[in-house]
Structure 1
Amino acid sequence: MNVHAILAIYRFEMARTFRTLAESIVSPVLSTSLYFVVFGAAIGSRMGDIDGVGYGAFIIPGLIMLSLLNESISNASFGIYMPKWSGTIYELLSAPVSYVEVVIGYVGAATTKSVMVGFLILLTARVFVPYEIAHPVWMLCFLLLTAVSFSLFGFIIGLWADDFQKLQVIPLMVITPLTFLGGAFYSISMLPPVWQKITLFNPVVYLISGFRWSFYGVSDVNVAVSVGAILGFLALCLVAVWWIFRTGWKLKA
């Protein structure tokens, strides 16, 4: 394992983050703060508890997950797309660095950025609503597993994309709608029975439900199913990345 190569990629990506601190860190935190103001304070004050949890506190896991998914995908996809766009990826591929080390470097940096944003949002939420974390270890596990999985997914998107527009297609047209419809702002038990069954086909439901359970001990689906869904998606992304580097798909001109 070429640790120096991994650290070089990791440090380069993290340095880029701190050069664009406003866009990388501050912007998602401020955007999420607006959700707390609108949904937590304005609307939440007019709503009762959901599963014994105040509405302002109830939406915290959903808002963190919303930012975590988008930031993980965006950071990883942009990180690997830029070398493709500039042509420097061929220097990286010809260097004595394995694809495993390349993936660890890029995905590790994207995961770090996403987790930083997640913790900052968690701290920001304390300003607006009181909350407790019932299972802090599980909360950290869900946070890390989700960040790693979707950073890998973003890495795949970055390899697939042919232009900057494609980098935003999946986060804006797929991930964000699925998150809003996946129980980020409500419990799926509040839906009519038919829609409850339909919603279970939304994979983001399992992410948000498991993450919410780690906070308050309540969930819409079985926690074991949530863990299985995350691990299954992680395995699928790992297989996809292995296949891409093995075949050279989107890498060889």
Structure 2
Amino acid sequence: MNWRAAGSIYRFELARTWRTLFQSIFAPVLTTSLYFIVFGAAIGGRIQQVGGVPYGAFIVPGLMLLTILSESTSNASFGIYLPRFTGTVYELLSAPVGVAETLIGYVGAAATKSVILAIIILATARLFVPFHIVHPIYAAGFLVLIALAFSLFGFILGCWADGFEKLQVVPMLVLTPLTFLGGTFYSIEMLGEPWRTVAMVNPVVYLVNGLRWTFYGQSDVNILWSAGLTLAFLLICVAIVSWIFRTGWRLRT
């Protein structure tokens, strides 16, 4: 393991956050604050509680997940796409750097930025609503697992994209709609049939409920399914990334 190479890539990618501070930190926090103002104040005045949890506190895990999914995917995809676009990826491929070092550098930095942002959003949410975390250790572990899984997914997306427009297709047209329809602002139990059954096909439902369980100890789905599906998605992404480096797909052409 070439730890120096992995650390260099990691520090370089992490430093990009401070060079684009407004886009990386302030913009997501501002967007989340607007969600709290609109949904917490407007809808929260009509829906007092969901499952015994105040509505403003109920949407905190969902808003955190919304930010983590989009930021993990975007950061990791842009991180690997930019070297491909400028041609500097060939320096990486010709250097004594393996798959593990590359993933630690690019994916680790993207996941770290997402977790830092999640912590900032959690602190911001405290300014709007009081809440508590029943299982803080499980919450931290689940956040890291989700951040790693979707950072890997973003890495794959950055290898697949052949233009800046394609980098935004999946986050905007797939992940964001799935997150909004995955119980971010409501409980699946509030839906009638057949929409409740349809919602259960949405994989984000399991992510939202898994994170919500770590906060309040309640979930609309089995927690083992939430953890299992997230871990399975991570392993699938690792296998795809390994195949990309083994074959050179989209990296050497």
- For normalisation by structure 2, the TM-score amounts to 0.99
C-alpha distance in structure 1 between counterparts of 2:136 and 2:214, whole Å: 7
What residue number does 1:147 align with? 147
Residue by residue over 1:40-67, the C-alpha shift from the partner in whole angstroms, topping out at 9 and shown as x without a partner, is: 1222122121000011000000000000
What residue number does 2:87 align with? 87
What residue number does 1:119 align with? 119
C-alpha distance in structure 2 between counterparts of 1:42 and 1:121, whole Å: 20
What residue number does 2:244 align with? 244
Residue 132 of structure 1, CA deviation: 0.5
What residue number does 2:171 align with? 171
Residue 252 of structure 1, CA deviation: 1.6
Residue by residue over 1:222-242, the C-alpha shift from the partner in whole angstroms, topping out at 9 and shown as x without a partner, is: 001100010010011011101
Q: Which amino acid aligns with 1:145?
A: L
Residue 95 of structure 1, CA deviation: 0.3
Percent pairwise identity: 62
Q: Which amino acid aligns with 2:95?
A: A
Unaligned runs of 5+ in 1: none
Residue 199 of structure 1, CA deviation: 0.7
What residue number does 1:78 align with? 78
Residue by residue over 1:52-100, the C-alpha shift from the partner in whole angstroms, topping out at 9 and shown as x without a partner, is: 0011000000000000000000000000000000000001000011122
Root-mean-square deviation over aligned CA pairs: 0.6
Q: Which amino acid aligns with 1:8?
A: S
C-alpha distance in structure 1 between counterparts of 2:223 and 2:61, whole Å: 15
Residue by residue over 1:150-179, the C-alpha shift from the partner in whole angstroms, topping out at 9 and shown as x without a partner, is: 000000000000000000000000000000
Q: Which amino acid aligns with 2:92?
A: L
Q: Which amino acid aligns with 1:190?
A: M
Taking the TM superposition and a 5 Å limit, the aligned residue runs for 1:197-236 are 197-236=197-236
Count residues in correspondence.
253
Q: Which amino acid aligns with 1:201?
A: V
Residue 102 of structure 1, CA deviation: 0.7
Three-state SS of the structure 2 residue aligned to 1:237 is: helix
What residue number does 2:105 align with? 105
What residue number does 2:6 align with? 6
Residue 183 of structure 1, CA deviation: 0.2
Residue 213 of structure 1, CA deviation: 0.4
Q: Which amino acid aligns with 1:165?
A: E
What residue number does 1:65 align with? 65
What residue number does 1:159 align with? 159
Q: Is the 8 A contact 1:107 1:155 kept in 2?
A: yes
C-alpha distance in structure 1 between counterparts of 2:222 and 2:20, whole Å: 40
Three-state SS of the structure 1 residue aligned to 2:50 is: coil
- For normalisation by structure 1, the TM-score amounts to 0.99
What residue number does 1:17 align with? 17
Runs of 4 or more above 6 Å deviation: none
What residue number does 2:54 align with? 54
Residue 221 of structure 1, CA deviation: 0.2
C-alpha distance in structure 2 between counterparts of 1:248 and 1:89, whole Å: 11
Residue 194 of structure 1, CA deviation: 1.3
C-alpha distance in structure 1 between counterparts of 2:216 and 2:228, whole Å: 20
Three-state SS of the structure 2 residue aligned to 1:148 is: helix
C-alpha distance in structure 1 between counterparts of 2:48 and 2:22, whole Å: 36
Q: Is the 8 A contact 1:41 1:128 kept in 2?
A: no
Q: Which amino acid aligns with 1:139?
A: A
C-alpha distance in structure 2 between counterparts of 1:250 and 1:80, whole Å: 11
